Chains A and B, each alone.
Chain A
Amino acid sequence: MSNILGNSISRRKLITTGLAAAAGVAGLATAERVAKSYGLIPPDDGGIWGVGETLTYATQRMLMAHHSMAREFGRSEISKAIPVSGDPPTKGPYPEMLSSGFKGWRLPIDGLVARPSSFSVDQLKAMPVRSQITHQACEEGWSFIAEWHGVQLSDVLNLVGVSSKAKFVVVYAYDGVWDSLDLADAYHPQTFLTYALNGDDLSASHGAPLRLRVARQLGYKSVKFLSRITLVDSLKNVGDGKGSISPAYGYSWYAGI
């Protein structure tokens, strides 16, 4: 009697557990499909940290659906000195461009755009000048406040005419760094192509002649020494497919933390 009872309970348990597991797997699969269609999955969603990366990126993207603005400060709060992390490249074309004052330097923008173009520093300076006094934190923990001058990336993107198929803006730099932004950050009003820091032209150590500034992410996302921008619909075939050089060094693609 108790045997029969025991069997029937375990069978019932087995069936409910099985159903619950199936529902869980189906639920997760649906959640992933929905998240993917809304662009809530980061390119570095694999591996042991993929769960955390995805939860953080998806949650923050939903929180920041509207263009939330990074805090801006007064001139009196600008840091007296700014540490440098990452020296200017000593190999490749960079040293010669630096010594010539970036005379022949141009920034090509290509990929999924209607009018692939390239811009000189003077052409960028002729566009509407934007400025921001924002806080920049390094992933290591230190931080500073500085005033940046440049053009809004969205102004440049609108000039070249971004295809409706494009999903990411990939940036390349002369020091071998490459990274990418989703369109939410690329079109954000505080995402700049900067050419001046605290009123002076960018020095080589701060990323001359042009540096990306992404106010809602950590410092390493503000790529220095820009060499090229390209628009893509997927990051799968760019580099190792993880959206940035950072994951190769153990750091997240998404740096909004």
Chain B
Amino acid sequence: MADLTYIPEVALQADEAQTVPRPPLLVRFTHWTFTLSFFGLVVSGFAIILSHPHFYWGETGNILTPPLFSLPLPTMLGGPSGWGRSLHFQSAWLAVLSGLLYIVSGVLSKHFRRELMPAASDLSWSSIRNCVADHLHFKRSGLAAEEHYNVLQRLSYLGIVFVVFPFTILSGFAMSPSITSVFPWMVEFFGGHQTARTIHFFLANLLVLFLVVHVAMIVLAGFTSRMMAMITGRPAAPKETR
């Protein structure tokens, strides 16, 4: 171990680490495996919907019952839902395994507590209102402040990781006849198989919306620098004009 400290690059990195929070390797790794799985899930979810673009409320629903709403999509039978289902569940495995790795490492490394838990003082109504107002006025908070997540970022990341994703997974489980035979409460919680399917669809839309905002923010904050940070762990030199 001791001989490593003589390698200049390593020493430099250690210095940087004390001033700028860098995404740890596991956060970066799971971020990209999760990105891959998320694209798989969205594409395949859409393919599955094509076989029956109607949504219902309650336990049952089919072409002989009135739908809650229908999507203006063609019905394509016997095609996309085949590979769609296979891609969906294989991607779901990658998503769940990446997610578990991320959460376990985030708890152990105190990533959630340090980087994502809002400070008690930031949770006041005025602090949140100021942050919202800054966003609405497209006011940037300056380079130093942007190295750390603000209260809105913290709340939305925590909400996505610990609320939206778990409920998306749960509503997916609720549609499985074998999983609900072991855990009937999963479907009873939603009030029925078709309600779970409809909520799964809404939550998926919310996740896609989050992705759009997330990418828009990355572009605003400096696409290259943020991408470098999430790939190599070192942000590119902050030379963007502001």
Contact = CB atoms under 8 A, between A and B. Distances in A.
Contacts of A217: 177-178
B50 to A, nearest CB: 9
Interface in B39-95: 48-49, 51-52, 54, 59-65, 77-79, 81-83, 85-87, 89-93
Contact of B52 (A5, A52, A141): A141
Number of chain B interface residues as a range = 35 or more
B187 interface: yes
Contacts of A256: 176-179
A145 B59 contact: yes
Given A139-B81, A144-B60, A218 B179 contact: no
Interface stretch (A55-63, A161-169, A203-211, A224-232): A55-63
A98 interface: no
Nearest to A144: B60
A216 B197 contact: no
Interface in A58-87: 60, 63-64, 68-71, 73, 77, 79-83
Main secondary structure of the interface of B (DSSP, over half): helix
Select the residue from B64, B187, B194 with max chain A CB neighbours within 10 A.
B64
* Secondary structure type dominating chain A contacts: loop
Nearest to A83: B62
A250 B164 CA distance: 30
B63 to A, nearest CB: 5
Contact of B51 (A51, A83, A141, A145): A141
A143 B60 contact: yes
Contacts of B178: 60, 63-64, 68, 216-217, 256-257
A63 B49 CA distance: 28
B3 A5 contact: yes
A215 interface: yes
Q: Which 7 A-B pairs have the closest CB atoms?
A: A250-B82, A52-B90, A256-B178, A142-B62, A49-B86, A141-B52, A68-B181
Interface of A: 5, 49, 51-53, 55-56, 60, 63-64, 68-71, 73, 77, 79-83, 135, 137-145, 215-218, 249-252, 256-257
Given A256-B177, A256-B178, 10 more contacts: A49-B86, A49-B87, A52-B90, A63-B178, A64-B182, A68-B178, A68-B181, A83-B62, A217-B177, A257-B85
